Amino acid sequence: MTERARPSPPQEDGDEPIVFVVDDDASMRRALTNLFESVGLKVEAFGSAPQLLQAKPPEVPSCLVLDIRLPGVSGLDLQADLAKANIHTPIIFITGHGDIPMTVRAMKSGAIDFLTKPVRDQDILDAVQAAIERDRKRRDLNRTVSTLRSRFESLSSRERDVLSLVTSGLMNKQVAAKLGLAEITVKIYRGQIMRKMGAKSLAELVRMSEALGIGPNKSDVQT
């Protein structure tokens, strides 16, 4: 079903972005593919939402160009399905005729843009560019967080308790008192944590814990 006429872009670093096009109209699908390819973007086109869902989630920065009135599963339904599947690829909706409730729903659900057909090439190319950029950033952030997470996961449970209390701003003495440890023991844990997390300062450690979403409020040690 998908017609791909790709100008075979070089696979440089495996980070080449992909534009996913989902449109039930073959000629529209073909035209969008052609347009994106003409500016050097890699495109994958699908005739329906289920076809897209069956495809492997992208490993590279990408965005989704969706016809909002897809037959069967509509563009909005697909948006919801993707969110459920924890796929956060930015979505650009295209529709033949502006539909305010749909637009609102789409934007609330995190759509990047909402374009009406026929789209101006600059508008859609800008939108795609922006979406890909956003996805790239999201991916970078995700990558950092997951490094921190794996470091965090290398900590022992006592070390995690100490980290939680230290990053909440308690002094070593206070931490020791809370955990019923000697102050010196806390100091040793603290050194091990700094080393395991790769933090050079307490301030960095605090940022890391914030990125990981662990703070004093979430600590289970609070009684």
191-202: b (≥16 Cβ within 10 Å) or e: ebbbebbebeee
Biggest alpha carbon–alpha carbon distance for the chain: 73
For the chain, how are helix, strand and coil distributed in percent, rounded to 5? Answer: 50, 10, 35
60 binds other proteins (CB under 8 A): no
Residue 14 vs 40, nearer CB to other proteins: 40
215 binds other proteins (CB under 8 A): no
The CA dihedral of 46, 47, 52, 58, to the nearest 10 degrees, is: 10
Q: Which of these ranges, 33-41, 103-111, 182-190, 214-222, lies near other proteins under the rule CB under 8 A?
A: 33-41
**CB of 91 within 8 A of CB of 49?**
no
105 binds other proteins (CB under 8 A): no
* # residues contacting other proteins (CB under 8 A): 24
> Binder to other proteins among 1, 4, 15, 39 (CB under 8 A)?
39
Nearest alpha carbon to residue 128 among 59, 53, 40 = 40
Q: What Rg value do the Cα atoms of the chain yield, rounded? A: 24
37 binds other proteins (CB under 8 A): yes
Torsion sign, CA atoms 71, 76, 78, 84? negative
Residue 69 vs 139, nearer CB to other proteins: 69
27 binds other proteins (CB under 8 A): yes
> Binder to other proteins among 18, 19, 22, 35 (CB under 8 A)?
35
44 binds other proteins (CB under 8 A): no
Q: How many residues does the chain have?
A: 223
Site residues for other proteins, 119-138, by CB under 8 A, read 119, 121
> Binder to other proteins among 4, 38, 156, 204 (CB under 8 A)?
38
CB of 30 to other proteins, least distance (A): 6
> Binder to other proteins among 9, 57, 71, 198 (CB under 8 A)?
71
**CB of 2 within 8 A of CB of 44?**
yes
80 binds other proteins (CB under 8 A): no
Site residues for other proteins, 141-180, by CB under 8 A, read none
56 binds other proteins (CB under 8 A): no
Edge-to-edge strand ranges of the sheet holding 42-46 = 42-46, 18-22, 62-67, 91-95, 113-116
User: Which parts of this chain interact with other proteins (CB under 8 A)?
Assistant: 5, 7, 24-25, 27-28, 30-32, 34-35, 37-40, 69, 71-72, 96-97, 117-119, 121
